Chains A and B, each alone.
Chain A
Amino acid sequence: MIATAPAPPRAGTSRLRAEVRIVAEADGRGGTRFAVLRGAAPVSLRPTPDGLHLVASAAGPLGGDVVAIDVRVGADAALTVRTAAASLALPGRDGAPSAVTVTAEVGPGGSLRWLPEPLVAVAGCRHTASATVRLADGATLVWRDEVMLGRHGEPPGDVVTRLAVDVAGRPLTRHELRAGPSAPGWDGPGALGPCRAAGSLLVAGPGHRAGEPAVLSPTAATLPLDGPATLTTATAPDAPTLRRLLDTAHRPPR
């Protein structure tokens, strides 16, 4: 089971439009400092030794919420982003969709590790989590997406996760997962199958050796892309199994 942190209740009708901005720069002494750290409800930002934590100050995303997160990692800077707990994509009262959109740029020699806890696609939700990452030559990216397909014993709502990464202006990956009632056949043998958890881990960067493709399970594989990168995709019966499969391919440094 996923531990979900209790979040303050919300009035069902209020919609949030949030723009979060994070700018990390090399501090010139081998470390990284934040030039800009601007949270916006429902996302507050908490730097910890373990990385920058995105903390939800309200339940959600709730149908109708639109959260945009802009991340800049400068040359030779290093940023790890985590979340304190799983986030729950919840249906809004009027069926409006919710969206969390991340736009990130990483400069030469810079490194971004995006390692949030899973997203739970609650029954009835209509959620899109979309990320566009532009890497400079010589930048490093570790990107994890994990989706729990519904809470325990319920079918998921509509959920789309999308990751588009360019390296020096050239497309590296365009990777999308869809589940829920609006994605025909999503739980069949041609797509995700009868799983409760699905996700991917992208590792890209000049120091990364792609190596040979590896089949981790009948529904999980580590796949070298065209370029110094591997994408591990997996479906699993539960969140811990999914995490284990993704970690098999690459245990992200803490």
Chain B
Amino acid sequence: MLPPAALLLADTRLPAGGHAHSQGLEAAAAAGEVHDLPSLRAYTLGRLWTTGLTTAAMAAATLRACSAEGGADWAGLDAEAGARIASPVLRDVSRRLGRQLLRAATAAWPDPVLDGLAAALPGGAHHPVALGAAGAAAGLDDHAVAVCAGYLSVTEATGAAVRLLGLDPYGVARLVAGLLDEVEAAADEAAAPRALADLPCPSSPRLDAGAQDHATWEVRLFAS
């Protein structure tokens, strides 16, 4: 069972800065690749099984590392997370969102784990690392935090689509409900314990190129 704390961690209303980011959707919409519910589903599914899975696996591994004897190797985890993000724009976004999530998580679940992370990485941690640490502070297990990561990967993109494209919110709710089995399956793969270097890390060339391009636009609604 997913513990109730997961509902708060995966809530887009947790003030962790996610609302200003479209998860690449603004770029995909401008390119005409996402324009209706079927194309949004295809986009979200591909995103979930690439960067969503990569984020979920890093978050789950971070959560496991929090209970390691002597504490987590924050610098090592952060370097592993950064090595999975090829786009410099998305690395910057990841750090920003990590810092912002850490602020919200520290308010919600004050915990020595979060203090340790903040002290070890004063410039902020990459988002998957912050998410794993937040999950540990909230008392989740590795699978639950992977579910949160996958769910956020879906809902932050679909939320942006509702705002940007004016898609039918009931249709989007149905779309998200239909993807929950995929979220669970991605979390299953993400949470399977492995050495850090061997964690699943599928990437999306389109999202990387799209993010780099988006960052140069003069007119844009979302930060990424």
Direct contact of A and B (CB under 8 A): yes
Residues of A that sit less than 8 Å from B by CB: 132, 160, 162, 164, 166, 170-178, 183-193, 198, 200, 213, 215-221, 223-226, 231, 233-235
Chain B residues near A218: list those with CB within 8 A.
Answer: 31, 206, 209-210, 213
Which interface class (under 10, 10 to 19, 20 to 34, 35 or more) fits B? 35 or more
For the residues of B in contact with A, the DSSP-based class is helix
CB–CB A177/B49 < 8 A: no
Chain B residues near A189: list those with CB within 8 A.
Answer: 28, 31, 33-34, 39, 42-43, 46, 206
| Interface check B103, CB cutoff 8 A | no
CB–CB B208/A223 < 8 A: yes
CB–CB A223/B42 < 8 A: no
Interface-side segment among B66-74, B83-91, B133-141, B166-174: B83-91
Interface-side segment among B9-17, B106-114, B197-205: B197-205
CB–CB A219/B206 < 8 A: yes
A231 CA to B86 CA, complexed, in Å: 7
CB–CB B49/A183 < 8 A: yes
Residue of B nearest to A179 (CB): B202
Chain B residues near A164: list those with CB within 8 A.
Answer: 197-198
A131 nearest CB across to chain B (Å): 12
CB–CB A217/B209 < 8 A: yes
A187 CA to B87 CA, complexed, in Å: 20
Chain A residues near B216: list those with CB within 8 A.
Answer: 215
Among candidates A160, A162, A166, A191, residue contacting B204 with C-beta atoms closer than 8 Å:
A191
A173 CA to B197 CA, complexed, in Å: 10
CB–CB A213/B47 < 8 A: no
B165 nearest CB across to chain A (Å): 13
B92 nearest CB across to chain A (Å): 11
| Interface check B100, CB cutoff 8 A | no
Residue of A nearest to B34 (CB): A189
